[in-house]
Amino acid sequence: AFMATFFRGGVHHTQNRPFFFGSSDNDDDNDDKKGKGDKSKKDKSKDDGKDEGKDDGENNEKDDNEQDEKDSNNPAKTGDSEPSPSLNNSARYKQSTHSSNTSAGNVFLPASRLGFGDQAPRYPHLMALPVIRGPVFPGVLTPISIYDKKTIEAIEKIMSGGSGGYLGLFLRKDEPDVSKGLEKPEVITNATDLYSVGTFAQIQRMTKSADDNMHDDDHAHPFTSNEPKDEQDMDEKNDNYANLLIMPHRRINLLSVDDVGPPTDVTVSHWERLQYVRGDDSAQDDTIRALSQEVLTTIREVAQMNALFKEQVVNLVPSSHLFDMNDPYRLADFAASLSSGGEAEDLQAVLEEKDAEARLHKALVLLSKEREVSKLQKEISAKVEEKMSEAQRKYFLTEQLKSIKKELGMEKDDKDSLIEKYRKKLSEYPSIPEEINETIESELDKLSTLEKNSSEFNVTRSYLDWLTNIPWGVTTEENFDISDARRILDQDHYGMDEVKETILQFIAVGKLKGTVQGKILCLAGPPGTGKTSIAESVALALGRKFFRFSVGGMSDVSEIKGHRRTYVGAMPGKIIQCLKSTGSTNPLVLIDEIDKLGKDFRGDPASALLEVLDPGQNSTFRDHFIDEPVDISKVLFMCTANEIDRIPGPLLDRMEIIRLSGYDVPEKLEIAEKYLVPKSMVSSGLMVKESLDEQQSEDNDTEKEVASTDKSSYTEPVYHLTEKVPDSLSIGRSALESLVRWYCREAGVRNLAKKIDKITRLLSLQVVAEEEGAKLTEKSSRQSDTWHVSSDNLHEYVGKPIFTSDRLYEKDPLPHGIVMGLAWTSMGGSALYVETQGIKRGLDPEGKPRGGGTLKATGQLGDVMKESTQIAYTVARARLAEIAHNNDFFDVTDIHMHVPEGATPKDGPSAGVTMVTAMLSLALDRPIKSDLAMTGEVSLTGKVLAVGGIKEKVMAARRAGIKTIVLPEDCRRDFEELPDYLKDGLDINYATDYSNVFDVAFGLN
């Protein structure tokens, strides 16, 4: 009845029935006397632990008060050893004169009840019980858990005495830190840990238990109960905890802390009951009434929004013995006790407030916070419920739609649809191998019997996805037109005749046979020579799909041959992925950086590639995931490498090697003018490329007909400057020559392209800046009067030249003991010098020369080159003995040989003849002419052996301005195969024995 009245907001209905569940009036004395007649029934109720039910009513409280009055008037009992209630209730003054016969099992009840509410005694000395999370307000029956053994023993003494079981509850200023071992809230270490205002309360019941029921609802309170933090704390305390049921009566002031304990003894002063008298100030009465109504309204609003709050109100009203909605003080206390989310300091402020209006206002602030939190919680709940409802609605509708379609025959089961999709996919392939077809049918039968939620279903589905996506028997139409293929190859690449000829041969064979088989080509050469880019042009010329993957640093065999299907996330290797992505069984696959394969505990990918790149085996290639033979013999494999020496022998044996030498100066100039400069100008916005339609629109019909019939003729694209670019803007040939000679001497054109891009970007900046009138820095601004970039103003765009001369030694002849050699590197050919210096030693005390006959070699030489120095030293000594019998240079002189540059690693045997010549030049004291360079390995008997890289070495010699070259006789064929422009102007001398080299070097020939 009260809750219905309360939530309707009818305050006036409760005026005749204040909810004083423990009233201080003595209206029920007759009932109390009548209740004391049956002593056995009372003892039985004590044994059953049911006294607290009676204490909550009016009869038992009146009973205790009347009994206390009789005891105080009985002279026989005043002389008893039980302490007088008028002295104190402090734990340290208690005499343990009573046994625990007042307890029934593990439930303890106070030996006597001396008063309730305002009638409760006013002890000056009390045992203080610190609480956490919030203060305890008068009139609200509150459970508290305690864990300190000494505190529990002290409370037992208080309850066993005749003082009524009273103590003081004070809020701690800081909650104990469990992580530091302060897990007992009732234990304090300093008197300042407690607030100065607390609550005078009476223990209604104490329950000691060894059970792990500390989190039951009977033992917990949302703001004041001192609960254990976790199960570990409960296990540690076990027998050392007790649950108290406390009835707070009034507020008390903390005067002093006599003993911090545990237990804590304090001296207090009691508050007088605060009563608000209406009629003295009408304005204040209106304010109090408005605040009271707002408090009740807020409680009602929060209870309607928050079910937990409503349940809390329902639970607190019966236990709030002093609740009266017409008393602003008690109404504020009741409202504050409902605020579970309030800060402890704010709740304590309500407890300490004496003014009715201020106390109501502070309680209203706490309730307002509860209302805002409840609103936010309601919004969150509504959003979550909306999402859940929408998801459920969509799920139900989807399931209903599936059922309807299935009944009407419009849709099949998921598995049936999946199987039908696989069969439709298979029907598109012209021919499926019988072995593969049997495997697919077997997997489809297994799929139809599996549950959709099983893991095996997903594995089988993934397997079938790959099996049905491999293009069985699908091939792209080949281009057998040699002229058209030649035009496409010439369109984007200059030179590279050997690669182009090989592709044209491949097309011709396919045209004659009518069928096309795969091939394995390996393009080996320095970086920047177009190995990767020409592969895409080859695919376009052949009419094949293009797929590229790099194996540089790859060390996992699964990347090539796939994973086993038993692994989570398993998938096929790159070869099967290539077939799926290209949709054909005859694509062009580029395996990039094959000379940089890795190898570790996961396997050796080079060995896995043996099956892939073997024409005799790859017709039945088995991927670990597919685990069925797949024909990849029609695939054209092209590999790229910088150094074929790093490719394993068995793998190298399966490939046809096409060596790409570096570009010389004329080739670089052609590439720059035809490809690099226009491409860079277009990318920088300085030029635009005319489309094919625009070019044809400018020709007449006759020219169109000739162009359409002559596919072999390569038509260069047409470019023109954009509108805002000056007409005179261009990059001259002299600038390109300077770039090639003084900035970019590497074998490829990658660095040359970077330099050209740098020029065009700066030109774009200057064009835009002059159009807008923007000011540039001195480095970026145009310093010359022309927009034409030439060798004269090239330094304004790319800086100072990197190379300042063609050779280290410019004067002719060279100093004694210095000869130029020719070397091959992964970056192309290089001309380097071999320097020797003799060190003569003095005489020892006996007059004999010191040292002699030793050779020291420096320049970061490899093991092979170090051996060459020793062989060259022996050959030089032998030749010197033949040429000059009386020359003892090597006997009395130590030789130091050095090969610049010292920071560059060098290795190989091809510098043998150069080393011998340098040492003989030093020994004979005869110079070598500066335009002579040589290469060749020398044996111990003086034979000159063949070496490789002749084209790169000849190109390096031309760059260095060399006119005379000495080559091994066995390299004559390599030199004669070079283009004529590389051989023009060179005096080539071939040597079979070192004597031939000696004759050329020292001018005897």
More confident residue, 302 or 180: 302
Three-state secondary structure of 687-712:
EEECCHHHHHHCCCHHHHHHHHHCCC
pLDDT at 590 over 60: yes
Confidence (pLDDT) at 765: 93
pLDDT at residue number 63 = 43
64/785: higher pLDDT? 785
- Tokens at residue 883, please? 């040429």
DSSP-assigned letter for residue 672: I
Asked if 167 and 186 count as a contact pair (C-beta separation under 8 A), the reply is no
d(CA 589, CA 582): 10
Q: Which residues, listed in sequence order, are joined to residue 788 by a DSSP beta bridge? A: 730
Question: What gap in Å lies between CA 271 and CA 138, rounded to an integer?
Answer: 12
Q: Average pLDDT for residues 987-992, to the nearest whole number? A: 93
Characterize the bridge pairing of strands 546-550 and 197-208.
unpaired
* Chain mean position to CA 255: 61
**Res 617: pLDDT:** 85
Residue 920 near residue 877, CB atoms below 8 Å: no
Q: How far apart are CA 419 and CA 421, in angstroms?
A: 5
Q: End-to-end CA distance of the chain, in Å? A: 133
Least confident of 443-447, 827-831, 864-868: 827-831
pLDDT of residue 938: 94
Q: Between the ranges 173-187, 189-203, 444-458, 625-639, where is the mean pLDDT highest?
A: 625-639
User: β-strand 719-721 against 687-689: which pairing, if any?
Assistant: antiparallel
Mean pLDDT of the chain: 77
Q: Which residues of 651-665 are buried (b: 16+ CB within 10 A; e: fewer)?
A: bbebbeebebbbbbb
Count the helix, strand and coil residues of the chain and give each as a percent rounded to the nearest 5.
Answer: 45, 15, 40
- Please name the residue that has the structure tokens 């099967």: 576
How do 893-898 and 855-858 pair as beta strands?
parallel
Contact 818, 835 (CB under 8 A): yes
Q: Which of 562, 578, 557, 576 is nearest to 630 (CA)?
A: 576
What's the token pair of residue 918? 């340098």
Question: What are the residues facing 244 on neighbouring strands?
Answer: 144, 206
pLDDT at 338: 76
Q: What is the pLDDT of residue 7?
A: 39
The pLDDT of residue 709: 35
Q: What is the pLDDT of residue 464?
A: 92
Can you read off the two tokens belonging to residue 9?
A: 């907001």
The better pLDDT of the pair 747, 586 is held by: 586
Q: Flag the least confident range among 177-186, 363-372, 815-824.
A: 177-186
Question: What token pair was written down for 801?
Answer: 């030249």
Q: Which of 55, 348, 139, 358 is nearest to 223 (CA)?
A: 348
pLDDT at 449: 86
Burial per residue of 428-448, b for 16 or more beta-carbon CB atoms within 10 angstroms, e otherwise: eeeebeeebeebbeebbeebe
What is each CA distance from 224 to 344, 371, 411, 620, 654, in whole angstroms?
10, 21, 63, 79, 84
**pLDDT at position 967, please?**
94
Q: Which of 602, 598, 606, 589 is nearest to 549 (CA)?
A: 589
DSSP string, 874-924: HHHHHHHHHH-TT--HHHHEEEEEE-S-TTS-B--STTHHHHHHHHHHHHH
What pLDDT does 101 receive?
A: 40
Q: Is 24 a catalytic residue?
A: no
pLDDT recorded at residue 289: 79
Q: Can you read off the two tokens belonging to residue 295?
A: 């408090």
For residue 609, what are its two tokens?
A: 């590639």
Three-state DSSP state, 794: coil
The C-alpha atoms of residue 564 and residue 580 are separated, in whole angstroms, by 18
User: How many Å apart are CA 262 and CA 127, to the nearest integer?
Assistant: 10
| Residue 806 in this model has a pLDDT that exceeds 60 | yes
498: left (phi over 0), alpha (psi -120 to 50) or beta: alpha
Q: What is the dihedral of CA 490, 492, 495, 501, to 10 degrees?
A: -50
The SS3 call for residue 597 is coil
Please report how many Cα atoms fall inside a 13 Å half-sphere around the Cα of residue 867, on the Cβ side.
Answer: 10
Per annotation, catalytic residue among 910, 921, 930, 951: 910
Sign of the four-CA dihedral 193, 197, 200, 206 = negative
More confident residue, 285 or 319: 285
611 vs 618: CA distance, rounded Å: 6
Write down the pLDDT at residue 319: 52
Average pLDDT over residues 282-296: 77
Residue of 30 and 674 predicted with greater confidence: 674
Kindly state the DSSP code that residue 743 receives in the 8-state scheme: I
Task: Work out the average pLDDT over 991-1002.
Answer: 92
- When mean pLDDT is compared over 1-10, 22-31, 364-373, 964-973, the highest value belongs to 964-973
- What one-character DSSP code corresponds to residue 274? P
In the annotation, is 856 catalytic?
no
**793 vs 333: which has the higher pLDDT:** 793
pLDDT at 572: 93
Tell whether the model's pLDDT for residue 250 goes beyond 90. Answer: no
**φ/ψ (deg, to 5) at 414:** -55, -45
What's the longest Cα–Cα distance across the chain? 152
Q: What is the pLDDT of residue 307?
A: 66
Supply the Cα-derived Rg of the chain in whole angstroms. Answer: 52
pTM over 0.85: no
Beta pairing, strands 519-524 & 546-550? unpaired
Position with higher pLDDT, 567 vs 10: 567
Mean of the pLDDT values across residues 945-952?
Answer: 89
Taking 70 as the threshold, does the pLDDT of residue 275 lie above it?
yes
CA distances from 323 to 19, 64, 326 (A): 6, 21, 9
Least confident of 4-18, 389-403, 650-664, 736-750: 4-18
Phi and psi angles of residue 820, each rounded to the nearest 5 degrees, phi first:
-90, 130
| H or E, element range at 233 | helix 231-237
Q: Is cis: bond before 666, omega within 30 of 0?
A: no
Of 375-384, 615-624, 828-837, 940-949, least confident by mean pLDDT is 375-384
Segment among 210-219, 505-514, 751-760 with least mean pLDDT: 210-219
Query: What does the alpha-carbon distance between residue 750 and residue 744 come to, in Å, rounded to a whole number?
Result: 9
Identify any residues that bridge with 822 across adjacent strands, giving them in sequence order: 831
Alpha-helical (H) ranges within 339-413 are 344-352, 356-408
Confidence label for 340 from pLDDT (cuts 50, 70 and 90): low
Model confidence at 821: pLDDT above 60: yes
Query: Is 129's pLDDT higher than 90?
Result: no
Write the DSSP string, 168-215. EEEEBSS---GGGT---TT--SSGGGB-SEEEEEEEEEEEE--SS-TT
- H helices of 255-306, in order, are 282-305
Q: What percent of the chain has pLDDT over 90?
A: 22
**pLDDT tens-digit readout, 687-700:** 998 765 555 555 54
Q: Are 20 and 322 in contact (CB under 8 A)?
A: yes
Is residue 68 over pLDDT 50? no
CB 126, CB 166: distance < 8 Å: yes
pLDDT tens string 573-582: 999 999 999 9
Cα distances from 763 to residues 211, 730, 758, 861, in angstroms, run: 88, 10, 9, 45
Among 64-68, 712-716, 756-760, the range scoring the smallest mean pLDDT is 64-68
Kind plus residue range of the DSSP H or E element containing 622 = strand 621-622
Say how many residues make up the chain: 1005
DSSP tag of 577: H
Flag whether pLDDT at 94 surpasses 70.
no
Structural contact between residues 574 and 560, judged by C-beta atoms closer than 8 angstroms: yes
Q: pLDDT band at 115, cuts 50/70/90?
A: low
Query: How do residues 675-687 score in pLDDT, each as one tens digit?
Result: 999 999 999 999 9
CB 829 within 8 A of CB 809: no
Q: What is the pLDDT of residue 591?
A: 93
Amino acid 316: pLDDT:
63
| Mean pLDDT, range 32-54, rounded to an integer | 39
Name the catalytic one among 157, 574, 679, 953.
953
